[in-house]
Amino acid sequence: MALSFFKTQTRFDFIGNRRKAYLLSALLLLVGFVSLVVQGGPRYGIDFVGGMVVQAKSAVKMPARQVEQAVVSAGLSGAVVQEFGAADDNEVLVRVAVAEEAAPAAREAIVRALAAIPEARFEVQRVDMVGAKVSADLRAQALEALFYAVLLISIYISGRFEHKWMIAAFMAACLGAAVYGLGLLDVSKETLVLAALAVTLVVCWKLQLLYALGATVALVHDTLITVGVFSVLGKDIDLSIVAALLTIIGYSLNDTIIVFDRIRENLRAKVAPTLPAVINLSINQTLSRTVLTSGTTLLVIFCLLLFGGGVIHDFAFALLVGIGVGTYSSIFVAAPILLEFGPGMPSDGDAALVQPRGAVV
């Protein structure tokens, strides 16, 4: 007997409440977008902007503001100090943008500034330095990794669920041509990736690759909300966060595929008279597995967030936000897209199951 979270089969009307979910998603995306605009984009860590980061531990609790004033007074204007780790760790991170040739002098200045607070008795734990050229390359490669992950997922979903490998290959060719053409315009890497993602969504829609469209929209939705939360909270985006975003993409896709697979099976079996009813039934049938899988995963990540230490705190936080949002998007974003664009559903489902756009249960 299969393990189930619910004693009986659930009958929640997910599709009937999808527009409320759309409003919630739009609100979260809008808040994140406004925060990014106000702050001039994501707050990149040293990995992506270059400079020096010094981690120091004090004997007593020191306000980050006081430490920052001491560092700025030492001649390091633009330095940013933030508390690091658990509240009782008494650790701070000092970040300053400096050229590689000025790094030794900057380090000495930071050490002197920390020593100028005698009651703190700071001890330097680590010093990291990233050059401007290396940081720019890392940022470009991180964005490319995110884009190609989404693109390859779109191609796989199209072939796996809709048996449209040739059309998926054509989509990949279109994307390759779009990326190449935009590259000739000498646009920034951020603009290039965003434009390529937009082209991916348009191509999926035009070619009626609806499963791929639903999965892609859900993945972009999860990534943007996670980045928006980091922007609102003033947290840095570094390589560990990029790793977390790629993990979120993989987890969210796994959840989405399970729902899609059940929808496809139920369409073939003609278990309900309308497409909204089929989607609703499929989500309810997989809901117990979704709750158990996501719940246990989130429990482990929450423990990691509490007890994992400062080094992986932001990584665990990104996973906590992203997997939570990813579970929500599999139900309220990816699956409803099949309904919104219902007339283009694959032919292996019965034509009578396809209702006009906007139909409800």
pLDDT band at 322 (very low <50, low <70, confident <90, very high): very high
**3-state secondary structure (DSSP) of residue 156:** helix
132: which 2 tokens?
A: 């401007």
Look at residue 6 in the predicted model and tell me its pLDDT: 63
Are 46 and 135 in contact, with CB atoms under 8 Å apart? yes
Residue 359 covered by a domain: no
Q: What is the mean pLDDT of residues 298-313?
A: 85
Indicate if 220 and 299 belong to the same structural domain.
Answer: yes
Q: What is the 3-state secondary structure (H, E, C) of 88-128?
A: HHCEEEEEECCCHHHHHHHHHHHHHHHHCCCCCCCEEEEEE
Q: Is 131 exposed, middle or buried (0-12, 13-18, 19+ CB in 10 A)?
A: middle
Residue 25 has pLDDT above 90, yes or no: yes
89: which 2 tokens?
A: 């760790």
Are 135 and 121 in contact, with CB atoms under 8 Å apart? no
**Number of structural domains, the chain?**
2
CA torsion, points 217, 219, 220, 225, in degrees to nearest 10?
A: 120
Residue among 123, 52, 67, 61 nearest 86 (CA) = 61
Please name the helix (run of DSSP H) or strand (run of DSSP E) that holds residue 82, with its range, or none: strand 80-84
Indicate if 223 and 251 belong to the same structural domain.
Answer: yes
Look at residue 308 in the predicted model and tell me its pLDDT: 78
Indicate if 172 and 263 belong to the same structural domain.
Answer: yes
Indicate if 232 and 268 belong to the same structural domain.
Answer: yes
Residue 102 has pLDDT above 70, yes or no: yes
Q: What is the 3-state secondary structure (H, E, C) of 176-238?
A: HHHHHHHHHCCCCHHHHHHHHHHHHHHHHHHCCCHHHHHHHHHHHHHHHHHHHHHHHHCCCEC
List the single range of 152-156, 189-193, 204-208 with lowest mean pLDDT. Answer: 189-193
Q: What is the mean pLDDT of residues 289-311?
A: 87
Q: What is the mean pLDDT of residues 202-225?
A: 88
**Better-predicted residue by pLDDT, 357 or 236:** 236
Indicate if 175 and 297 belong to the same structural domain.
Answer: yes
The CATH number of the domain holding residue 123 is 3.30.70.3400
Indicate if 144 and 78 belong to the same structural domain.
Answer: no
Look at residue 223 in the predicted model and tell me its pLDDT: 92
User: What letter represents residue 88's amino acid?
Assistant: D
Task: Among 6-10, 94-98, 149-153, 282-286, name the most confident range.
Answer: 282-286
The CATH number of the domain holding residue 246 is 1.20.1640.10
Q: Of 130, 165, 184, which residue constitutes the final position of a domain?
A: 130
- Whole-structure pTM value: 0.79
123: which 2 tokens?
A: 């001890």
**Better-predicted residue by pLDDT, 12 or 141:** 12
The overall average pLDDT reported for the chain is 81
pLDDT band at 344 (very low <50, low <70, confident <90, very high): very low
Indicate if 303 and 201 belong to the same structural domain.
Answer: yes
Range of the domain at 24: 18-43+135-353
Residue 111 has pLDDT above 60, yes or no: yes
Residue 283 covered by a domain: yes
Q: Of 103, 130, 157, which residue constitutes the final position of a domain?
A: 130
Q: What is the mean pLDDT of residues 242-266?
A: 89
Q: What is the mean pLDDT of residues 266-295?
A: 88
Residue 165 covered by a domain: yes
Residue 306 has pLDDT above 70, yes or no: yes
* Max Cα-Cα span within the chain: 78
Are 29 and 225 in contact, with CB atoms under 8 Å apart? yes
Are 162 and 209 in contact, with CB atoms under 8 Å apart? yes
Q: Of 80, 114, 130, which residue constitutes the final position of a domain?
A: 130
